[in-house]
A = this chain, B = another copy of it.
Amino acid sequence: MVSSLRLPTLTSLFSPSFTRRFTVSLRRRLHLRPPLAAGFSAQSAASSPPETEDQFDSKKSSRVQDRGNTDRVITPRSQDFNAWYLDVIASAELADYGPVRGTMVIRPYGYAIWEAIQDYLNVKFKETGHSNMYFPQFIPYSFIEKEASHVEGFSPELALVTVGGGKELEEKLVVRPTSETIVNHMFTQWIHSYRDLPLMINQWANVTRWEMRTKPFVRTLEFLWQEGHTAHATPEEAEKEALQMIDVYTKFAYEQAAIPVIAGRKSKVETFAGANKTYTIEAMMGDRKALQAGTSHNLGQNFSRAFGTQFTDENGQRQHVWQTSWAVSTRFVGGIIMTHGDDTGLMLPPRIAPIQVVIVPIWKKVDEKTGVLDAASSVAETLKTAGLKVKLDDTDQRTPGWKFNFWEMKGVPLRIEIGPRDVSSGSVVISRRDIPGKQGKVFGISMEPSILEAYVKDRLDEIQSSLLQSAISFRDSNIVDVISYEELKEAISLGKWARGPWSASDADELRVKEETGATIRCFPFEQPQGTKTCLMTGNPAEEVAIFAKSY
């Protein structure tokens, strides 16, 4: 079981039966709410059947065997990435099934990660001149039909309200899958002159897409997101805005989520239904599949022409506005889990961790308890005052070893241990989540507030960079430069990303998808120098594209 749950490092403190005890406790705790089954997407009724161990067992017999033999709680990542992902979400209490197929309840710990994403982006959106507002979620069906490629892209995924207040509605209402149509309906009433431009807004909202294959956070029937919508007087301004926002997302991914996304432009085939250009950030997950983690669309005049969103320019001429839209969703939480997690569970970058430091007080004798708890509270207070997110786990219903494992599984970046000897010496023991075992553990850090605060903040910064660096190394060692379709196929078959020059047709792109399962994730902004020859056709190519299998 060593591979899935690390043994406590302070075993001397515990009775010999400790190891068994804490895993049993942990299992019991987890059994309170059985893990999300891999069949999240496989339910067929509108309401899911009650979750039982039986259902779980029948679907995941291999895992059940693991658990039966080894008390393993989280399937090792290397063994079954998908099972690991669902186990982590269940064990760390990030999310749970909703009663309706494909819906998800975001639990407090998962929601706190989303709040960290919101807190950062909300400030950046305002700094870049956007205002928050709120559009109704019910959209008349006729709106969706106005933009030709939009209706084609979204109509298979719509949820429709047909009854309201006990009556059949004259016009069925779409539960918003995205808001370009209703936004344009309103923009048309607010925009009249060039003085009303640019109009730059954002909303935090829920959206609904009737997906057939769902997966917690990554693809759910209803999800939370922000959607920015802007209108401009010129195509240049719209293009600049679309690029600015993908840049905001890129910085967020690198600096906060420690995810080294590759930013670039989508191929025509992969462009948003209704956009001229789609910019994207593509993240490599731990299984090397790509996750589209955020997009920014240059909509051109597609929606303004469909909805008649016009303004009078400085010369008195009527013009259609140029628009953008851009979005990041709760899918990003899935990206964080799948980028940094390991066999032990979740591993959270300090800047988005709901708990950055967990403090575990350790005592054996009753007369030690007060001194240890006082010191632990004082350390917690010091770090909270320094602006850190701190959890003092002072329950006496669990052993320290149980707590170590529990908070490691929850991905808390730093752990502070305080025992009677530490109290005497005025110091603490600090362990890093990202460096397992003794290497990640440092003894004798002074409790003196200024020293401790500086030490903890430095370590958190180190962990933040270290997670990013690991992810960069992983990403770079799994992207293969290819110059032929054969090489592309080989790279994809090895589970890697292929990067190669591309100027072939949409049909060729679809052929690659059919034959390899990989799609063009993007034409990256960062392009290699030199002349390029299309890997498929041998014709000159202007850009390399990245191909990968994706979520």
Residues of A at the B interface (CB closer than 8 Å) are: 32-33, 45-47, 51, 96, 98-100, 103-108, 110-112, 114-115, 131-140, 142-143, 155-166, 169-173, 175, 182, 185-186, 189-190, 192, 195-196, 201, 205-206, 208, 210-212, 221-222, 224, 397
What B residues does A186 contact at CB under 8 A? 96, 105
A129 to B340, CA, bound (A): 29
Contact A103 to B175, CB < 8 A, known contacts A170-B45, A189-B33: no
When the two chains form their complex, are residues A136 and B104 in contact, meaning their CB atoms are under 8 A apart?
yes
When the two chains form their complex, are residues B98 and A111 in contact, meaning their CB atoms are under 8 A apart?
no
Q: Within the complex, which residue of B133, B136, B163, B170 is in contact with A222, where a contact is CB–CB below 8 Å?
A: B136
What B residues does A112 contact at CB under 8 A? 131-132
A135 to B206, CA, bound (A): 11
When the two chains form their complex, are residues A160 and B158 in contact, meaning their CB atoms are under 8 A apart?
no
Shortest Cβ-Cβ A-B pairs, 5 listed: A165-B210, A108-B131, A103-B136, A98-B136, A46-B171
Known: A46-B170, A100-B136. 10 other contacts (CB 8 A): A99-B182, A100-B139, A105-B135, A108-B131, A138-B221, A156-B166, A162-B162, A163-B172, A164-B210, A205-B206
A170 to B45, CA, bound (A): 7
What B residues does A134 contact at CB under 8 A? 105-106, 111, 114, 224
When the two chains form their complex, are residues B138 and A100 in contact, meaning their CB atoms are under 8 A apart?
yes
When the two chains form their complex, are residues B165 and A163 in contact, meaning their CB atoms are under 8 A apart?
no
A107 to B212, CA, bound (A): 34
When the two chains form their complex, are residues A156 and B165 in contact, meaning their CB atoms are under 8 A apart?
yes
When the two chains form their complex, are residues B158 and A132 in contact, meaning their CB atoms are under 8 A apart?
no
When the two chains form their complex, are residues A98 and B182 in contact, meaning their CB atoms are under 8 A apart?
yes
What B residues does A136 contact at CB under 8 A? 98-100, 103-105, 221-222
A170 to B43, CA, bound (A): 13
What B residues does A140 contact at CB under 8 A? 46-47, 99-100
What B residues does A159 contact at CB under 8 A? 138, 161, 163-165, 173
What B residues does A163 contact at CB under 8 A? 158-160, 162, 172
A185 to B48, CA, bound (A): 12
Contact A111 to B131, CB < 8 A, known contacts A136-B105, A397-B195: yes
A491 to B170, CA, bound (A): 44
A140 to B107, CA, bound (A): 20
A221 to B192, CA, bound (A): 28
Query: Would you give the shortest CB distance from A120 to chain B, in whole angstroms?
Result: 16
A182 to B104, CA, bound (A): 12
A100 to B186, CA, bound (A): 12
What B residues does A189 contact at CB under 8 A? 33, 51, 96
What B residues does A45 contact at CB under 8 A? 170-171
A518 to B208, CA, bound (A): 41
When the two chains form their complex, are residues B137 and A206 in contact, meaning their CB atoms are under 8 A apart?
yes
When the two chains form their complex, are residues B175 and A165 in contact, meaning their CB atoms are under 8 A apart?
no
Query: Would you give the shortest CB distance from A461 to chain B, in whole angstroms?
Result: 26
Query: Would you give the shortest CB distance from A255 to chain B, in whole angstroms?
Result: 24
Residue contacts A-B, CB under 8 angstroms, 11 given: A33-B190, A110-B133, A111-B131, A111-B134, A112-B131, A155-B166, A158-B166, A159-B163, A162-B163, A165-B210, A165-B211
When the two chains form their complex, are residues A164 and B160 in contact, meaning their CB atoms are under 8 A apart?
yes
When the two chains form their complex, are residues B172 and A175 in contact, meaning their CB atoms are under 8 A apart?
no
What B residues does A107 contact at CB under 8 A? 133
A185 to B103, CA, bound (A): 14
What B residues does A192 contact at CB under 8 A? 32
Query: Would you give the shortest CB distance from A394 to chain B, in whole angstroms?
Result: 15
A355 to B211, CA, bound (A): 42
When the two chains form their complex, are residues B161 and A160 in contact, meaning their CB atoms are under 8 A apart?
yes
When the two chains form their complex, are residues A171 and B47 in contact, meaning their CB atoms are under 8 A apart?
yes
When the two chains form their complex, are residues B132 and A108 in contact, meaning their CB atoms are under 8 A apart?
yes
What B residues does A195 contact at CB under 8 A? 397
Query: Would you give the shortest CB distance from A399 to chain B, in whole angstroms?
Result: 16
Query: Would you give the shortest CB distance from A427 to chain B, in whole angstroms?
Result: 32
Query: Would you give the shortest CB distance from A209 to chain B, in whole angstroms?
Result: 9
A32 to B208, CA, bound (A): 32
What B residues does A105 contact at CB under 8 A? 133-136, 186
Query: Would you give the shortest CB distance from A204 to chain B, in whole angstroms?
Result: 9
Q: Within the complex, which residue of B162, B185, B196, B205 is in contact with A32, where a contact is CB–CB below 8 Å?
A: B196
When the two chains form their complex, are residues A173 and B132 in contact, meaning their CB atoms are under 8 A apart?
no
What B residues does A162 contact at CB under 8 A? 160-163
Which residue from chain B places its CB closest to the CB of A196 in the assembled complex?
A: B32
A196 to B208, CA, bound (A): 32
A502 to B132, CA, bound (A): 46
What B residues does A205 contact at CB under 8 A? 206
A170 to B100, CA, bound (A): 11
Q: Within the complex, which residue of B47, B108, B132 is in contact with A115, where a contact is CB–CB below 8 Å?
A: B132
